[in-house]
Amino acid sequence: MRTQVAIVGAGPAGLLLSHLLHLRGISSVVLEARSRDYVERRVRAGVLEQGTVDILNAAGVGERMTREGLPHHGIELRFGGAGHRIAFEELVPGRAITVYGQQEVVKDLIAARLAAGGEVLFEAPAVALEGLDTEHPAVIFERDGVRERLEADVIAGCDGFHGVSRPAVPDGHLTVYEREYPFAWLGVLAQVAPSTVELIYARNDRGFALHSMRGPEISRFYLQVPPDADIAEWPDEAIWAELRARLETVPGFKLAEGPVIEKGITPMRSFVVEPMQYGRLYLAGDAAHIVPPTGAKGLNLAVADVRVLTDALAGWYAGEGDAALTAYSETCLRRVCRAQHFSWWMTTLLHTFDSDDAYGRRLQRSYLDYVTTSTAAATTLAENYVGLPQV
């Protein structure tokens, strides 16, 4: 098999890249290890930056998002027995976020690719990348137990943190920057109307909690838990009790409960490689970088990466040279590293660290007070949260 761009991974990065390339007349084949049903059901992110919404709309895949997505103009930081609103309309006028599930974005992108005759091969895991430092790179993949070869001009590694693309780069070419956090997140999807209109980020001595949502009848919650927590230790009743303890901390707030549809535990990690490229391999999204979800940035970074990569590839195929492709990593890493800092900062601000002494906790409280009383500090949070302009 041969195509122009071989894309490994049908997450948001790989699917959107394939679609954006198609709009520029460039062919691609997407190889995905899992089934279509699996990737469409995988519950993950929920917050889309304005810039992400704009890119999806401009690419013609925003129709259902516009209908079903929930525009939000603020978030609440809850601590010290009170809620404090970060008001986007005042701090960053004209910019907002949209709450719309990642799996809905994935469903919309798969539908658009298939409707346009795009090739997305499910249950076709890439097992090796070859010839990355030549002009004829190839992906070896498996389909129905048979090994096949996909040749291309370039390979886009969009296969997430645990994929094969990043490890295919020979030793010594990538610098890794990373940090692990001494806790994980327990995520819960529940069949119940949200108890809040806007997202609540709650700092509590028992640990962080987040109240998000997916629609009028579906709520999404996260709890800070120990890094080695086992989901078997968290029966639904224990989850609700902990959510009540961490969220029912302001007068009059009562948490509505309902059946748990899905629950799981995610480790918290910051990770970035530099450069995001080796020879004819370009890494995008979680394959190149991950952030703790407290800043809601991972999906948005994946979208920003593939937008930059599309422009660079389109210029290259149009005979404009390889300057934009050469600059791909540097261009992306400016945004990625800002988001790395923001995500680390939000995580540090809102979680409970066992290693913190009374002094550390007092400083954390002081910073929370500052962010919620100083317009300058609140604007810093708001402009990063809604997303800095796309380059």
Nearer to ligand RFL, 72 or 297 (CB): 297
* Residues shown for the chain: 391
| Residue for token pair 């296969």 | 159
Amino acid sitting at position 87: A
Residue 106 in contact with residue 39, Cβ under 8 Å?
Answer: yes
By CB under 6 A, is residue 10 in contact with ligand RFL? Answer: yes
By CB under 6 A, is residue 98 in contact with ligand PHB? Answer: no
Question: Residues 19, 22, 72, 351: which is the catalytic one?
Answer: 72
Q: Which of 86, 105, 120, 126 binds ligand RFL (CB under 6 A)?
A: 126
By CB under 6 A, is residue 294 in contact with ligand PHB? Answer: yes
- DSSP 8-state class, residue 198: S
Rounded distance, CA 76 to CA 88, Å? 11
Nearer to ligand PHB, 7 or 290 (CB): 290
Cis bond before residue 137 (omega within 30° of 0): no
Residue 76 in contact with residue 196, Cβ under 8 Å?
Answer: yes
Q: Which stretch binds ligand RFL (CB under 6 A): 82-90, 271-279, 285-293, 373-381?
A: 285-293
Q: Which of 29, 75, 150, 158 binds ligand RFL (CB under 6 A)?
A: 158
x/- track of binding to ligand RFL for residues 93-122 (CB under 6 A): ---------x--------------------
The tokens for 210 are 């987040």
385 is catalytic: yes
CA 379 to each of CA 236, 351, 368: distance values in angstroms, whole numbers, following the listed order: 37, 21, 13
By CB under 6 A, is residue 286 in contact with ligand RFL? Answer: yes
x/- track of binding to ligand PHB for residues 215-244 (CB under 6 A): -----x------------------------
By CB under 6 A, is residue 46 in contact with ligand PHB? Answer: yes
The distance of closest approach from Cβ of residue 63 to ligand RFL in the complex, given in angstroms and rounded to an integer, is 21
Longest Cα–Cα distance of the chain, Å, equals 64
Sequence-ordered strand ranges (E) for 165-241: 175-190, 200-202, 209-215, 218-225
Chain centroid to Cα 231, Å, comes to 22
Residue 95 in contact with residue 88, Cβ under 8 Å?
Answer: yes
Residue 266 in contact with residue 188, Cβ under 8 Å?
Answer: no
Q: Which stretch binds ligand PHB (CB under 6 A): 146-154, 288-296, 323-331, 334-342?
A: 288-296
Alpha helix segments (H runs only) across 69-209: 88-91, 102-115
Q: Which of 47, 55, 110, 333 binds ligand PHB (CB under 6 A)?
A: 47
Residue 385 in contact with residue 328, Cβ under 8 Å?
Answer: no
State the binding partner of 157 from ligand PHB, ligand RFL, none, CB within 5 to 8 A by kind.
none
Q: Which of 5, 20, 33, 260 binds ligand RFL (CB under 6 A)?
A: 33
State the binding partner of 220 from ligand RFL, ligand PHB, none, CB within 5 to 8 A by kind.
ligand PHB
Question: Residues 100, 201, 278, 328: which is the catalytic one?
Answer: 201
By CB under 6 A, is residue 297 in contact with ligand RFL? Answer: yes
Nearest to 287 by CA among 374, 368, 169: 169
Nearest to 163 by CA among 332, 45, 10, 337: 10
Q: Which of 6, 7, 13, 120 binds ligand RFL (CB under 6 A)?
A: 13
By CB under 6 A, is residue 296 in contact with ligand PHB? Answer: yes
293 is catalytic: yes
| Residue for token pair 């009170």 | 82
CA 223 to each of CA 46, 76, 260, 351, 390: distance values in angstroms, whole numbers, following the listed order: 16, 16, 14, 10, 31
Q: Which of 302, 336, 349, 382 binds ligand RFL (CB under 6 A)?
A: 302
Q: Which residues bind ligand PHB (CB under 6 A)?
A: 45-47, 199, 210, 212, 220, 293-294, 296
Residues designated as active site: 72, 201, 293, 297, 385
Q: Which residues bind ligand RFL (CB under 6 A)?
A: 8-14, 31-34, 39, 44-47, 102, 125-126, 158-160, 163-164, 185, 187, 266, 285-286, 293, 296-300, 302
